[in-house]
Amino acid sequence: MKTGKRLNIRSARYKRNRKKLPLWIAFSFSLFTFHSISAQQLESYINEAQNNNPELRAYNSRVDIAREKVEEVNSLPDTELSAGIFVSEPETRTGPQTARFSVRQMLPWFGTIDAREKAAGAMVNVEDIEADIARRKIALAVSQNYYQLYALQEKQEVLQENIDLLELYHQLALNSVEAGNASAIEVLRLKMRQNELKEQQEILGFKYNSKKVEFNKVLNREVTLQVALPDTLAIDAADTIAVSGNIEVNPEILKFDGLSESILQAEALNQKEALPKLGLGLDYVNVAKRTDMEMSDNGKDILMPMVSVSIPIFSNKYRSVTRQNEIRQQEVAQKREDKLNQLQSRLEAAMNARSSAIVSWKVQLDNLEQARNAEEILIKTYETGRLDFDDVLDIQELQLKIQMNLIDAVVEYYQETAMIEYFLGTDK
């Protein structure tokens, strides 16, 4: 009887270990497979979110509007047309004037329109960077939710394995009670522990469904759609946290560089606006013929080309704009420095958290091996005598805690990696 039960327990442990082997022990065999398959799946979700997310669509619309602004400023002021009829016709030598028609066109100083285009183009760049920031934040949100979903899925599976194992121990305890080697209290404790794990599993199921809704909302798709998740995530034990990149190319920093450039272009435009403006015009006066006498040029119409110059004598407003632009440059520089400090601090925290995750993962691997050695010793004691079910519960609880910590360490590693990629401005 004991031998048969021992074989059942060992068979169950072998299946559990074989199923979880890539995560706990043979990470090197599954790492490449995950990177080639799971990474592709995650990138597919990121692309879907970037194509469908309404917030990103709104940012793209802002970029389109900014581009249209370039076309808007690439034009001359409105042409003025006027017409008038003389109520009391003024007499001239060649006849009375009956009507006047005028056309006027103001022209900005040379290079002003080009300065306007550059100023508007600088704002297009700023809006494009804002859209890039939004794209990267969406990619980060998709990645974070993806790994959180994986953790919830994996923890449910681990709980199910422990529930199944406890069921074997529960049956073993019933047999021991019949043989007089265990008490009914030990059977009840095993059953209660099993019920506790079922409760945790059900709660995780609710959290998984909630997180799945959140994930699908980011992708702007039906909330009931399933999410394809990897069977196993692994950490490269040889990872030395060698991360390349420059935080100053992060779009959140480049945005301030773009704003600084836009202020420079706005000031260049202000200087052009402070220059004189030219005006060209043409007046046409209709003259009626005189009926009281015949003469040369009788009734000859009047055609008068005109040139005008608009001189900004009172230029206080242009000096004020220049001063405002200087202050804006100072403000942008200060904000850029503050944002750079924030990102560097957050990057350092992410790097440390990623390193800590690798350390924790390695320690938990060793702890799990020790816990399973203890479990093996317990099984051997069952072969020779009474099995201590208090020790069984302690070892099972310890192993479950280690398994959960392993999942948390792996997910923390990938979440912090995604965060580092965001800070360093690298593309997904």
Tokens 């194509």 appear where? Answer: 51
Residue 321: pLDDT over 90 = yes
Helix axes 251-273, 112-178, angle to 10 degrees: 160
> Are 279 and 307 spatial neighbours (Cβ–Cβ below 8 Å)?
yes
Structure confidence at residue 16 (pLDDT): 46
Dist. CA 144–CA 415, nearest whole Å: 6
Residue 141: pLDDT over 80 = yes
Distance set, CA 348 to CA 133, 338, 352, 362, 414 (Å): 20, 16, 6, 21, 16
> Are 377 and 395 spatial neighbours (Cβ–Cβ below 8 Å)?
no
Structure confidence at residue 384 (pLDDT): 64
Structure confidence at residue 383 (pLDDT): 63
Whether the CA torsion 137, 139, 142, 144 is positive or negative: it is: negative
Structure tokens at 291: 């009926």
> Are 418 and 144 spatial neighbours (Cβ–Cβ below 8 Å)?
yes
Average pLDDT of every residue of the chain: 84
Q: For Cα atoms 402, 227, 359, give the angle at the middle one, nearest 5 degrees.
A: 30
pLDDT, one tens digit per residue, over 165-178 is: 888 888 888 887 77
* Range 225-238 average pLDDT: 84
Residue 287 CB coordination number (10 Å): 22
Dist. CA 230–CA 45, nearest whole Å: 13
Q: Which of 333, 396, 415, 334 is nearest to 173 (CA)?
A: 396
Residue 186: pLDDT over 90 = no
- pLDDT: which is higher, 260 or 175: 260
* Range 53-58 average pLDDT: 90
Give the CA count within 13 Å in the CB-facing half-sphere of 116.
17
Q: Which of 90-99, 138-147, 388-397 has the lowest mean pLDDT?
A: 90-99
pLDDT band at 6 (very low <50, low <70, confident <90, very high): very low
Structure tokens at 105: 């066109």
Residue 18: pLDDT over 70 = no
Residue 88: pLDDT over 80 = no
> Are 112 and 269 spatial neighbours (Cβ–Cβ below 8 Å)?
yes
Which of left, alpha, beta for 86 (phi over 0: left; psi -120 to 50: alpha)?
beta
- Give, as one character, the DSSP assignment of residue 296: T
Classify residue 123 as exposed, middle or buried by CB count within 10 Å of its CB (0-12, 13-18, 19+): buried
Strand (E) positions, 236-301? 277-287
Residue 291: pLDDT over 80 = no
Distance set, CA 319 to CA 33, 62, 115 (Å): 64, 31, 18
* Range 398-410 average pLDDT: 94
DSSP string, 385-422: S---HHHHHHHHHHHHHHHHHHHHHHHHHHHHHHHHHH
> Are 103 and 281 spatial neighbours (Cβ–Cβ below 8 Å)?
yes
Structure confidence at residue 244 (pLDDT): 62
Structure confidence at residue 391 (pLDDT): 82
Q: For Cα atoms 275, 77, 312, give the angle at the middle one, nearest 5 degrees.
A: 25
Structure confidence at residue 296 (pLDDT): 78
Q: Which of 123, 150, 140, 91 is nearest to 288 (CA)?
A: 91
Alpha helix segments (H runs only) across 77-229: 112-178, 184-218
pLDDT, one tens digit per residue, over 235-254 is: 876 655 555 668 888 999 99
pLDDT band at 323 (very low <50, low <70, confident <90, very high): very high
Dist. CA 253–CA 245, nearest whole Å: 14
Structure confidence at residue 335 (pLDDT): 96
Dist. CA 8–CA 1, nearest whole Å: 11
> Are 302 and 283 spatial neighbours (Cβ–Cβ below 8 Å)?
yes
Q: For Cα atoms 180, 185, 189, give the angle at the middle one, nearest 5 degrees.
A: 125
Residue 7: pLDDT over 70 = no
Q: Is 200 helix (H, G, I), strand (E, B) or coil?
A: helix
Structure confidence at residue 151 (pLDDT): 96
Stated as kind and residue range, the H or E segment containing 75 is: none
Q: Which of 180-184, 412-416, 423-427 has the lowest mean pLDDT?
A: 423-427
- pLDDT: which is higher, 21 or 368: 368
* Range 389-410 average pLDDT: 91
pLDDT band at 231 (very low <50, low <70, confident <90, very high): confident
Structure tokens at 269: 């435009």
pLDDT band at 184 (very low <50, low <70, confident <90, very high): confident
Q: Which of 102-111, 307-316, 362-371 has the lowest mean pLDDT?
A: 307-316
